[in-house]
Amino acid sequence: MRRDFQTPEVLDALQRGDLQAAEALANAAALAHPGRLEAWRQLGLVRQIAGKLSDAFAAYERALELDPNDIEVAKALARAALRLGQSETALALALHGATQAADDADALLLVIESLLAVGNLSDALRISDEVTEIFPLNISLLIMRARIRRQLGALSDAIDLLRQAQHLAPRNPDVLYELALSLADQGEIERPETLAREALGLCQADGGPPSTRAALEFLLATLLLSRGALAEGWQAYGARLDPALPQAVHFEMDAPRWDGQGDLANRSLTLVAEQGLGEEIAFLGLIPDLLKRLAPSCRLELCVDRRLHGFLARSFPSLDLSAPETSSRDGFKYRRVGEGVPVKDLWLPLGDLLARDRRRIEDFHRKPGYFIADPLRVAAWRDWLASLGPGPKIGLTWRSGKLGEGRAFKFPQLGDWRALVSANTVHWIALQYSATPEEHDALGEILQAPLSVAPDLDLFQDLEGLGALCAALDLTLGVPNATTNLAGAVGAPLWMVCPPTPWTALGTGAYPWYPQAKTFVATELGDWHPPLAAVAVQLAKF
C-alpha cells in the first residue's frame, strides 16, 4: 500500500482482527476513488488477508488495469493465481512483472515457481541457475533451486543446496522443512524428525507462517508413522486437516463432529472420506472394527466415493451409503455430504478412526480382504484370462495417476521394468489407469511381451470391474496407488514395489493394511533395479 493513500480506518480494523469491517471500509474507499490504483491494491490486500482469494484477484486485476507497470500488483496477482490453481495465468503475470524489474528477486522467483506449477522443470532449472548469479545468497532462491532438483529426483544436489541455505539461515523454518523433506524422501527418518521438531520450535517461538507450521506438523506425523510410533503418529496425523495446510480438506457439515466418546446408542454417525482414493480404500478397512464396537442401535453411514458403493453394499449391507461433494473456492478444497443427504446426528472424518483402532501393528487385520468383489464379474474375468492361454496372469500398474509436484521420481520409470524380462512366460494385464497407448506399446517392448488390455473396462470409473479383475488374477504387481489398494482390499494376491521407507509401511518391512501383500522396497530413491530384480527372482519361482 503506497504512503500517499492510506486509510487509517482500514488499518485499524486489520489490527483489531475485524476483517469484515476492514473489507467493507476498503471496498468503500475503492468505490469512492475508482481511478486510484492504491485503493484497489488496498482492497486486494484486505481480501487476501481475509482468505477471499478470488475477490482479491479481481481487485488486484483492476489495479493492474490502472497501471500495467506496477510490479507489486503484478506480483500479488501472480501469487493469487498460483494459489487459485491458475498456473498459466500466474506464469503470464510473473513474466510481465519480471520484464518490468529484472533486478527484483521476488519477481524472478515467481517466474520460477510458476514454471514449476505448469510442469516446465527444464526452464525452471535453467532460469533458477541464471538468477543465482545475480542473487547468490538469496535464501528463497536456494530453496527454490533445491525444490526443482528434488522434483527431478536429484536429491543429493537438493540436500547440498539446502545445507548452504541452512548455513546462511540456521533458524529459518522453511529451510529446515525443505531439508527434512528431502532427507525423508531419501529414506531417512531420524535426522528429518530432529529437523522438523527444531523448525516447529522456531515457528512457535517466532510466530512463523501458519502454512509452514502446518506442513511441518504433517511431515512430523508421517515421520513418526514411518518409524512405527503409531499412537503418537496418528495423534499428530490430525495435522492433515489443519486449515493452514494448503492441500487440507475443509468440511462443511451441519452437525457436530464426534469426539469419539460413548457408544452412540440410538444415534447416527456419518463417516466422510477425506483424501485420495487409495487412502480412502485403505481406511475403509477400519469399518469391521467400528461395527463391532458400535451399539446395535447406532446407524452408520459412509459418505465415500460412489465408485466404491457396490463393494460396500455387498460387504456391509447394514450401512447407509452416500457420496461426498467436493468443490474448490479461493484455492481451498471443500467437502460436504451430497445434496439431499443431511448428516443426522454426528460426523467424523474417516481417518480419525486410525488413532482409535490402529495404535499398534497388532491391531491390523491378519485376514486378507474386507471388500467382496462381484462374484459374477470375477467368474467372467477368469474366463477371459483363461482364453489368453497357459501361464500366470499378472496385472501390472506402474505409476500414480497424479505425477505433479515432483511425484514422478517416486515411481519406477518405464525402462526400470526391464528387470522383469526374464519372466517371459507371464501374461501381463495392463491395470494402469490413465495410461496412454504409447505407454502400453513402450512397456510391451521393454518386457518383451505384449500387455493385454481388459475389454470394455474403464480402469478409472469402473472400480467394481477392476476389483473383480484383480480378484481373478494370479497376482497384481505395482506401486502404491489406488489400484494396488483395491487389489489389497478384495484380498487378491499383491506384490508392491515401494520407495525407501514408505510411511504407509508403518515401520515394518511389510504393508500392514493388506496382510497378503509382499513388498519390494528400494533402498535408494531412483535406484529401482534391486527391488525389481528381486521381483524377477520371485516371479521365476511363481
> What pLDDT does 513 receive?
97
Is the model's pLDDT at 246 over the cut of 90? no
* Residue 391, strand partner residues: none
> What pLDDT does 137 receive?
92
> In which residue are the cell numbers 525389481 written?
532
Is the model's pLDDT at 57 over the cut of 80? yes
- Which residues are CB-contacts of 169 (< 8 A; sequence separation ≥ 6)? 139, 175
> Which among 111-120, 425-434, 465-474 has the top mean pLDDT?
465-474
Is the model's pLDDT at 180 over the cut of 80? yes
> What pLDDT does 99 receive?
87
Neighbours of 259 (CB within 10 A): 9
Q: b vs e for 505-527, b when ≥16 Cβ sit within 10 Å of the residue's Cβ?
A: bbbeebbbbbbbbbbbbbeebbe
CA distances (Å), origin 128, targets 99, 105, 144, 174, 394:
16, 11, 8, 18, 44
For the chain, what are the domain ranges?
Answer: 8-241, 249-359, 375-541
> What pLDDT does 366 receive?
83
Region 197-215 average pLDDT = 90
> What pLDDT does 407 receive?
67
Is the model's pLDDT at 4 over the cut of 60? no
> What pLDDT does 1 receive?
39
Is the model's pLDDT at 399 over the cut of 70? yes
What class does CATH assign to 8-241?
A: mainly alpha
> What pLDDT does 3 receive?
40
Set of cell numbers at residue 136: 547468490
pTM: 0.91
Region 487-509 average pLDDT = 95
State the chain's mean pLDDT as an integer.
Answer: 92
pLDDT band at residue 341 under the 50/70/90 scheme = low
> What pLDDT does 26 receive?
93
DSSP H helices, 361-427, are 375-386
Neighbours of 260 (CB within 10 A): 10
pLDDT band at residue 356 under the 50/70/90 scheme = very high
> What pLDDT does 153 receive?
86
The full 3-state SS of 461-520, as one line of letters, equals CCHHHHHHHHHHCCEEEECCCHHHHHHHHCCCCEEEEECCCCHHHCCCCCCCCCCCEEEE
Set of cell numbers at residue 206: 517466532
Is the model's pLDDT at 275 over the cut of 90? no
Please say whether the structural domain 375-541 has been given the CATH code 3.40.50.2000: yes
Q: What digits encode the pLDDT tens for the residues 103-112?
A: 899 999 999 9
pLDDT band at residue 450 under the 50/70/90 scheme = confident
Is the model's pLDDT at 141 over the cut of 90? yes
* R_g (Cα) of the chain, nearest Å: 26
> Which among 33-42, 64-73, 308-317 has the top mean pLDDT?
308-317
CA distances (Å), origin 27, targets 6, 23, 58, 88, 241:
13, 6, 12, 28, 32
The CA-to-CA distance between both ends of the chain, in Å, stands at 69
Q: Which of 202-216, 297-311, 313-327, 472-486 has the lowest mean pLDDT?
A: 202-216
The full 3-state SS of 64-90, as one line of letters, equals HHHCCCCHHHHHHHHHHHHHCCCHHHH
> What pLDDT does 410 receive?
84
> What letter would DSSP give residue 329?
E
Using CA atoms of 420, 404, 493, 457 in order, give the dihedral in degrees to the nearest 10: -100
3-state class of 114 per DSSP?
helix
* Residue 395, strand partner residues: 429, 476
- What is the phi/psi pair of residue 135, to 5°? -125, 70
> Measured over all CA atoms, what is the biggest interatomic distance in the chain, rounded to whole angstroms?
82
- Which residues are CB-contacts of 354 (< 8 A; sequence separation ≥ 6)? 234, 237, 283, 286
Is the model's pLDDT at 213 over the cut of 90? yes
Is the model's pLDDT at 365 over the cut of 90? no
CA distances (Å), origin 373, targets 258, 367, 370, 435, 487:
31, 16, 10, 24, 10
Query: Taking Cα atoms as reference points, which of 30, 87, 28, 99 lies closest to residue 58?
Result: 30
> What pLDDT does 342 receive?
67
